[in-house]
A and B are shown apart, each in its own frame.
Chain A
Amino acid sequence: MKNSVPPSQAGVLKNASARSILAALICILGGLVVGFLVLLLLTVFAEDISVAEAFSGIVIVLGGPFSGGSAQDILFQMGNMLFQSTPLILTGLSVALAFNTGLFNIGAAGQYLMGAMGALLVSLSIPTTVVPAAIVWILALLAGTLLGVLWGAIPGFFKARFSVNEVIVCIMTNWIAANIVSWVFKSTGDRFINVAETKVNFIRKTASNGVATATLGLDKLFAGSYMDISLFIAILIAVVLYVILNRTTFGYELKACGYNKFASRYAGMNEQRNIILSMALAGGLAACGAAFWCLNGAQDFKWDTYLTLPADGFNGIPVALLASNNPIGVIFSAIFLKHITVGGSNLAAQTSFNEYVSPLIIAVIIYFSSFSKLIKDLLLRRMTKAQHATPAQPADPPPAAGPDKGAADEDAKTKEE
């Protein structure tokens, strides 16, 4: 009996990763095809756009920073793309972590705003003449993350204590956060708001207080872009999260609650605690992403945000979905999404189309991915049925999560090419 398990499981593993790659690739391809068809359709209706422009358009989008022009421009766009991927990786991790516990964290936008507020308040109010800038940087990062942890815990608490759907609570906390952030910065006046420049919608850059993420010359390497080391910290966080989810008891408990909270309660796990912890950690991750973005030192933060929510908060959802909620996959899917987004702005600069093609393609990819999982499941069911015709040995969840990593990893790589 024991001997028969490893080979059959290895077969399933191999095919599962192949299935995941295939499914994600189909989704991406589908998104690109639909995007292209939309461009073609637009050329039919708009007289001043030629059909050829639709072809070059989709190539520009797909090229991302590489369609930026000269070598210098490409390097510059590449550096900015990598820097902008940092918050997206972290909001993606936030959504992916919650998904692993069976929760839909649509509140990353609010958690992101709270994180930005925490980081900005601390980094701009502690004078670097008294406290070393590096300490202020760490304190600001911690403050932002902590606010996000608290903010994420709210939907977790409502879910665990009152069994209120977390989607609704997340959306409410998003708008509450947006108003609180505007309120706080409005009431503190020009202590934080950048009144020196003519545009007063923004908070002062943290570099004005000497606080900025170390760049180690990366900004120079990428032709004066915003690139700093935060990307590598984000990647490290993703790896740690992967280990926690797949190699620790705590991670196993989180996932068990996601699969079946009644069964996990029966098995002696505290499912209420796990739900709250999962959402709190998710909130911390999203907020940490915002803190990295603000602490770069050269970024403008729009404080009067009560009518809009940050796009990076919502884009964490497609990032996580495309990566099948695998932390390592999130790194690649976040970079891929930014790649397409940069391609979109190049498209707007070079053709008569505009940057909204990128969110359209991303939305279509997510639409397809909503049923790609189903195709994968159907394939899996058929295969396991054939393989385990005699010994009824279901593949258990934790090993099955392994292949997803490889899969998301792989398909992200193929995207990069």
Chain B
Amino acid sequence: MIFLIQKTLIFTIPLLIVALAGMYAERSGIINIALDGLMIFGAFVGALAALLLRKNPFFVDHNQLTFLLAMLVAAAAGALFSLLLSFSAIRLKADQTIGGTALNMLAPAIALLIIKVFFTKDMLEMERAADTSGTMKDFGFVILHDDLGPIGRIFFDKAYISTFLAAGLFVVLSIFIYKTKTGLRLRSCGEHPQAAASVGIDVIRMRYLGTTISGALAGLGGYIYIATVANGTASGAVAGMGFLALAIMIFGNWKPLGIALGALLFGFLKCLGVIYAQISIPIHGQDVYILRDLDLPMYFYNLIPYVAVLIVLAFTSGSSRAPKAEGIPYDKGAR
């Protein structure tokens, strides 16, 4: 049971952060279909940074510091990359879906081109490296405390600092968008930019802000994904997690709490597909592996999250509250 919750958390965190990224862009009025590409780019740059840092033994010793720095670099990379989207969408009033699609294609192409030229392979692994005493060490940022009792173990055993960082960011950013002046202004630009402009809000600036925060979060989420879920390998793909995050954002009705709920639900379903054979329930003192004994193929469990998204969307679409002005380029003269 503890194992299941730990695993669910690991899958939930990247989905949560990236869905929040989608929310920030769309609440400011820009459709960010490029979440997947931003994740890929952030993951690639973050992995590259970690790899280069770990050439210095000091950073192999201080694993957690390296992890934090790599996350920071990934977020910066995501923010920079998202400027491509915001520039075309805001300044040039381009089609946001097409621009986002272009970014989704561009990110893996850049990542793989560079990886293959410099590392002559199709993926970038955060390899073993020597620490100050000369022993080889794996990358690995897990916090281990198995002496804390069940509740403590859920959060502090086999845990990643990225989990705490992401949870903290989530709280801060949720408060920011609802309780601060800037947050209110940002939201107003996604609903009715002309009305916002009429009271002196700089719509263009707000939209740049929303998309850049979005890019930073998506880049961060991408790096967290490869560092915690995908064994530290940047391969120019994140298995469609960016698109799943987009669906979670819609499921969560463009609101932080809904997104958190959706991320937990789909994090759970997603991790079920990976670890279903290892889940056991003690009955009469014996561990019974219910799901494994059902003998359903792995594909069945893989299908569940996607089918669930469809069912949920079919039922909730009536109450959907998408930002009214999302996807529409801001035109000062329009009414």
Residue positions of A touching B, CB distance < 8 A:
38, 42, 45-46, 49, 104, 106, 158, 161-165, 167-169, 171-176, 179-180, 182-183, 186-187, 306-309, 314, 317-318, 321, 352-354, 356-357, 359-360, 362-364, 366-367, 369-371, 373-374
Contact = CB atoms under 8 A, between A and B. Distances in A.
A306 B117 contact: no
Contacts of B98: 321, 366, 369-370
Contacts of A106: 101
Interface string B82-121: 0010001000111101110111011011101110111000
Interface stretch (B129-137, B175-183, B200-208, B300-308): B300-308
Interface of A is mostly: helix
Interface stretch (B148-156, B238-246, B279-287): B238-246
Contacts of B105: 314, 318, 359, 362-363, 366
A168 B307 contact: no
A182 B303 CA distance: 11
A367 B239 CA distance: 23
A303 to B, nearest CB: 11
Contacts of B303: 176, 179-180
Contacts of B95: 370-371, 373
Contact of B309 (A163, A167, A172, A182): A172
B253 to A, nearest CB: 13
A243 B3 CA distance: 60
Contacts of A186: 297, 299
A168 B313 contact: yes
Most buried by B among A306, A307, A367: A367
Contact of B299 (A180, A308, A357, A367): A180
Nearest to B314: A162
Contact of B300 (A168, A169, A183): A183
A227 to B, nearest CB: 28
A360 B94 CA distance: 20
A161 B306 CA distance: 19
B313 A158 contact: yes
A363 B318 CA distance: 35
Nearest to B115: A356
B33 interface: yes
Contacts of B310: 158, 169, 172-173
A371 B97 contact: no
Interface of B is mostly: helix
A164 B113 contact: no
Given A38-B113, A171-B240, A183 B97 contact: no
B21 interface: no
A182 B102 contact: no
B250 interface: yes
A232 B108 CA distance: 33
A314 B306 CA distance: 19
B302 A42 contact: no
Interface residues of B, number: 44
B317 interface: yes
A46 B117 CA distance: 8
B204 to A, nearest CB: 16
B189 interface: no
B217 interface: no
Contact of B116 (A164, A354, A370): A354
A356 B94 contact: no
A183 B97 CA distance: 32
Contacts of A367: 84, 88, 99, 102-103, 106
A162 B102 contact: no
A360 B92 contact: no
B39 interface: no
Given A357-B113, A364-B106, A369-B98, A183 B239 contact: no
Contacts of A187: 297
B246 to A, nearest CB: 7
Contact of B317 (A163, A179, A359): A163
B43 interface: no
A309 B23 CA distance: 26
Contacts of A176: 303, 306-307
A161 B247 CA distance: 18
Nearest to B251: A168
Given A158-B314, A175-B306, A183-B299, A42 B109 contact: no
A328 B177 CA distance: 47
A158 to B, nearest CB: 6
B314 A317 contact: no
Nearest to A307: B239
Nearest to A162: B317
